Amino acid sequence: MQEALLQAVHATGTPVVLVLLNGSAVAINWADEHVPAIVEAWYPGQAGGAALAEVLFGDYNPAGRLPVTFYRSVDDLPPFEDYAMAGRTYRYFTGAPLYPFGHGLSYTRFAYRDLHITPAAPRAGAPVTVSATVQNAGDRAGDEVVQVYLTDEAASVPVPVRQLVGFARIHLAPGAQQTVSFTITGRQMAIFDDAGRWVVEPGAFAVAIGGGQPGYAEGVTGSFTVTGEAAVVA
C-alpha cells in the first residue's frame, strides 16, 4: 500500500524525496530505481521532525552510515534454518547489495589519496599503522566517516570476506584536507584456530580506507604481508 502511494505520487511528476521510518532493512528496490533521493531516518524520536527538516532544506549536511546491509532480495540470503554465517552480513556476503553496510551520502563529496602502510612487512602479532589523506572536494562543509576494512587473503581457515577494523568521523571545510591514521592490531588480523587460540598467521592482507566498503565508495586500497612464524595474541 505504501509503495503504491509512492508510485502514484511519483507518476504525477511531483519531485519526491522518500523518507524511511523503520527499524531494519526494507525492500525499496522500486524507489532505488525511480526516486532521486532517499533519507533513512530510522526511529528518530520526538525531535525527529526538526532534524529531518534541517536535512531536507539543506540546513544540515548529513553524514550517517548504514549499520546493516540492504539486500536486493531475501533470495540472496541462505535459508532461515541455516545458522551458518556464510552469505550473511557484510562480512560474509559476496553478492551485490542494494545498499551496502557503511553506505551514506551527503551534500558534498570527498576524495582519498596517499595511502601509507607501516610497516609493509610486519612480524606476526605486531600492529600496522595505515593512513590516508581525505579532502573535501565539494563546495559545502561536511562530515566524512572514514572507514577501514581488512581482508585476510591467506588464512588457513574460513574468514570474513572483509571486516571493519576502524572508523573516524571528521569535519572538513570545502577544499580542506586531513590525514587520518588508524592502528590495526594483531588481534584484528588473527584467526581462531582449532585449539581455541587467536593466532596471526603469515601471509597477505588487503586493506582499504574510504567512505564505505571498497568497491562501493571513494577510497584507496593497498596490502601488507605478515612475516615470520605464526603468533598467538591475547
Task: List beta partners, residue 188.
Answer: none
Are 226 and 132 members of one domain? yes
Residues 134 and 48 in one domain: no
Under the banding of pLDDT at 50, 70 and 90, the label for residue 137 is very high
Tens of pLDDT, residues 84-120? 888 899 999 999 999 999 999 999 999 999 999 999 9
Q: Residue 141 belongs to a domain with what CATH number?
A: 2.60.40.10
Residues 120 and 229 in one domain: yes
Q: Is 134 domain-assigned?
A: yes
Same domain, 36 and 137: no
d(CA 113, CA 129): 16
14 lies in the same domain as 83: yes
Q: Could you give the CA distance from residue 132 to residue 143 in angstroms, rounded to a whole number?
A: 16
Whether 98 is covered by a domain: the verdict is: no
Task: Residue 8: give the domain boundaries.
Answer: 2-92
pLDDT beyond 90 at 83: no
Assigned domain for 33 exists: yes
What average pLDDT does this structure show over 211-231?
97
The Cα–Cα gap between 41 and 50 comes to: 12
pTM of the model: 0.95
Is 170 part of any domain? yes
